[in-house]
Amino acid sequence: MRRVRIKSDESCTMGIGAMIVFIGMIIFASIVSFTIIHLTEEITQHSQNTGEDVRRDFANSVIITGAWVYDNYDDMLFMMEFGATGDPIAREDVLYVLTCTESDGDFHYRSAALGDSNGGSAIYVWEVGSDGPDTAGFSNVNNFEPGARYFFTLDGGTQTTPGGAQCGPVHLDTENIDAKLWLHIPNGPSTHQILSLSNGREIGSQLI
């Protein structure tokens, strides 16, 4: 008569234990995978939100790329460039603030929409490469396009004395001081430039 060898209870216990360990490893791997996937999705979503916030807050941008003495009294000429991204901006929505402080502490300023002389001499705005204010029938640009460059003039007169020269080339030269110019645009950061005479108040001398 043939005898059948029966596995011992100890072997069965080892097999069940190995199965439990295997199932536990599968569950652990599933939990780890879920955690990694969840964290990756959160990081991706956070990066997208941050990028969208930056794009929304800084969709428009402008920098001052050049500044010169426009006449030897109080007018200045500037070149500005708008960022390639963003939306067209109405000229009247761009605000300028021109300030200067004399050595004795007297503070002068002027602020208005770009192209608005606010009581001083006429202010001109035109696109680089197009006809300037010395052309018959000239009219100021009314909208700024992304990626484009423009010239604009400013009168150095101030809020209290629009026709004066408190922050213009002649005053900066006489007082040996600098002026400051800010441009504020909608849906974008402001830009700031220090205006410092490079060669006295000679017409065409750089201001930055």
Question: Do residues 168 and 158 lie in contact, with contact meaning Cβ atoms separated by under 8 Å?
Answer: no
Q: How confident is the model at residue 118 (pLDDT cuts 50, 70, 90)?
A: confident
Which pTM was predicted?
A: 0.70
Can you tell me the distance from the alpha carbon of 7 to that of 42, in angstroms, rounded to the nearest whole number?
A: 52
Each residue of 63-103: pLDDT tens digit? 999 999 998 778 999 999 999 888 899 999 999 999 999 98
The residue extents of the domains of the chain are 9-57, 62-195
Each residue of 23-56: pLDDT tens digit? 777 887 778 777 888 777 777 676 655 555 555 5
CA-to-CA separations, 20 to 14, 24, 27, 34, 184, in angstroms, rounded = 10, 6, 11, 21, 68
Residue 176 is classified by DSSP as: T
- Residue 42 phi/psi, 5-degree rounding, is -65, -40
Percent of the chain with pLDDT over 90: 36
CATH of 62-195, one of 1.20.120, 3.30.70, 2.60.120, 2.60.40: 2.60.40
Show the tokens assigned to 27.
Answer: 């569950």
Distance of CA 93 to the CA centre of its chain: 16
